[in-house]
């Protein structure tokens, strides 16, 4: 994008789209992870996705910031640092898409509702943790 280009022509729509996309990706990852495990493991899968999301955001932002500041330290203009950081972000996104298309396969979910029989869940009182011990009563 040229330096003199108007904000509303290209930058504003890109910022709106860039702000909404992580929310869509996070929701899709949560749905895929929770549908891939049994009902008892959905909390663990959800927390793993949340943790990976935060680590990825932190690492990507840290690397992009390092690229930007190192270019500015070397005497380049600020615009060059900004562009290099954005190119890094775009490269990471493309690498993620390639890995996604190459390795992620989601089988069709044939379950209906909360089918308890396919998950080997026991309904015995020992299967649930409670605050009151009722076995001696």
What pLDDT was estimated at residue 134? 55
Greatest mean pLDDT range, 23-27, 114-118, 124-128: 23-27
Q: Hey, where are the domains in the chain?
A: 19-107
pLDDT per residue as tens digits for the range 40-74 = 888 899 899 989 988 988 999 999 999 999 999 99
Distance of CA 80 to the CA centre of its chain: 28
Give the C-alpha separation, 17 to 12, whole Å: 9
Which residue, 52, 51, 79, 84, is CA-closest to 65? 84
Token pair, residue 11, equals 């930058």
pLDDT per residue as tens digits for the range 84-108 = 999 999 999 899 889 989 987 777 7
């Amino acid at each position: 994008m040229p330096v003199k280009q108007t904000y509303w022509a290209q930058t504003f729509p890109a910022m709106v789209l860039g702000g909404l996309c992580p929310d869509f990706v996070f929701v899709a990852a949560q749905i895929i992870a929770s549908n891939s495990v049994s009902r008892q493991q959905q909390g663990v899968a959800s927390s793993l996705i949340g943790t990976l999301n935060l680590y990825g955001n932190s690492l990507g932002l840290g690397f992009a910031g390092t690229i930007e500041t190192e270019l500015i330290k070397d005497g380049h203009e600020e615009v060059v640092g900004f562009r290099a950081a954005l190119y890094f972000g775009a490269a990471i996104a493309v690498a993620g898409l390639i890995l996604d298309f190459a390795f992620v396969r989601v089988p069709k979910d044939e379950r209906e509702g909360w089918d308890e029989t396919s998950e080997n869940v026991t309904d015995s009182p020992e299967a649930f943790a409670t605050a009151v011990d009722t076995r001696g009563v």
